[in-house]
Homo-oligomer: A and B are copies of this chain.
Amino acid sequence: VDEFDIIRRFFQRPGQRVAPGVVAGVGDDCALLLPTPGMQLAVSSDVLLEGRHFFADVPPRLLGHKALAVNLSDLAACGASPLGFTLALALPRVDAPWLQAFADGLLALADACGCALVGGDTTEGPLNICITVLGQVPAGQALLRNGARAGDDIWVSGHLGDARLALEVCRGHVTLPAAAQGVLAAACMRLQAPTPRLALGQALRGIASSAIDVSDGLLGDLGHVLEQSGVGALLDTRRTDTLLAAAQHRASGHLPPEWVHRWTLAGGDDYELCFTAAPAQRQAVLAAAHSAATPVTRIGCIEATPGLHLLDRQGQRIAPAPQWAAFAHFSQERP
């Protein structure tokens, strides 16, 4: 593997525009960026591994999209706007059609989000995709995990659990009826091509008191906010149960209510934003969601006493099953 040839051949395009703020990109010892004065720099690194984060046979174009999307989701959760990213790629072999499709998916999302590929590294080895994304946010306005206060509303964007549904179908744990193939296709796109909620994150600056992206399951990720803010939470499962886009198929009997419950609360790979805001900000939250063209749902409230509780279908306060709140990034290895 010749790293220079690979970068030139697949990841640099003729007529590629240099993004604003990028002074020198791929091809020097370092990329040089010039953040806007008064902005803080936001940085996050995420790795995607075959078998752990994606199936070996995932279409490479979708994989390229997802590898960048999960990193952009971290910027979104901070309310940052993208500046650029580096790509460190370990490849078992140089498979030109695979690389071309991977680069196409990656760069299409990069272009759409104004996030330039500024540097990277390629090496021969077991497939490993490591992306570091750089963004900027006005100093002091970043959304952090430690700002949730007792009485705040808890909100979540978009849908939860559909990526997990798709995963369970791929694993053969769940079978959907033929009539549900459209729903399954939509769920697969949620799993394979998540949409980072960048516009929403930026619109929530000055409104949300805390935020996190839901990558490992709602309960686990919200747990980090609770821990870092020193508070507790009460979630209404009558609201979270509605967040599965495929929930209408519950009635068909193919999706037991218990599964819907579990996937929405602890599914993983959702890449939605979970955030808190004071009740006085409800109209501002809805206006931000509207401006970002991203639906949001109010699912609970922050409590002063640490701990995470649920309201069940009868409105009774219960503790979640312990394993739901624990971090356990599920593997995409075939069973």
Tell me whether B47 and A30 are in contact (CB under 8 A): no
Contact partners of A132 in chain B: CB under 8 A? 43, 45, 86, 88, 132
Instruction: Choose among B37, B43, B86, B224 the residue that contacts A31 (Cβ–Cβ < 8 A).
Output: B43
Contact partners of A40 in chain B: CB under 8 A? 23, 32-34
Tell me whether B142 and A86 are in contact (CB under 8 A): no
Contact with B along A281-312 (1 / 0, CB 8 A): 00000000000000000000000000000000
Contact partners of A80 in chain B: CB under 8 A? 30
Residue A247 lies at the interface, judged by CB distance under 8 Å to chain B: no
Tell me whether A28 and B78 are in contact (CB under 8 A): yes
**In the complex, how many angstroms separate the beta carbon of A273 from the nearest chain B beta carbon?**
10
Residue A100 lies at the interface, judged by CB distance under 8 Å to chain B: no
Residue A128 lies at the interface, judged by CB distance under 8 Å to chain B: yes
Tell me whether B145 and A27 are in contact (CB under 8 A): yes
We find that the number of chain A residues with CB closer than 8 angstroms to chain B is 63
Contact partners of A175 in chain B: CB under 8 A? none
Contact partners of A45 in chain B: CB under 8 A? 86-88, 119-121, 130, 132
Binds B, one of A133-141, A186-194, A235-243: A133-141
Cα A134 to Cα B33 with chains together (Å) = 10
Tell me whether A42 and B30 are in contact (CB under 8 A): yes
Cα A24 to Cα B40 with chains together (Å) = 10
A23-60 contacts to B, CB under 8 A, are 23-24, 27-35, 37, 40-47, 49, 51-53
Residue A111 lies at the interface, judged by CB distance under 8 Å to chain B: no
Contact partners of A78 in chain B: CB under 8 A? 28-30, 32
Residue A213 lies at the interface, judged by CB distance under 8 Å to chain B: yes
Tell me whether A30 and B130 are in contact (CB under 8 A): no
Residue A90 lies at the interface, judged by CB distance under 8 Å to chain B: yes
Instruction: Name the residue on B nearest A25 (C-beta).
Output: B43
Tell me whether B43 and A86 are in contact (CB under 8 A): yes
Residue A20 lies at the interface, judged by CB distance under 8 Å to chain B: no
Contact partners of A74 in chain B: CB under 8 A? 29-30
Contact partners of A146 in chain B: CB under 8 A? 28
Contact partners of A88 in chain B: CB under 8 A? 45-47, 88, 130, 132
- Which 9 residue pairs of A and B lie closest in terms of their CB atoms, listed nearest first? A130-B130, A132-B132, A30-B42, A29-B77, A45-B86, A126-B126, A49-B125, A29-B74, A33-B41
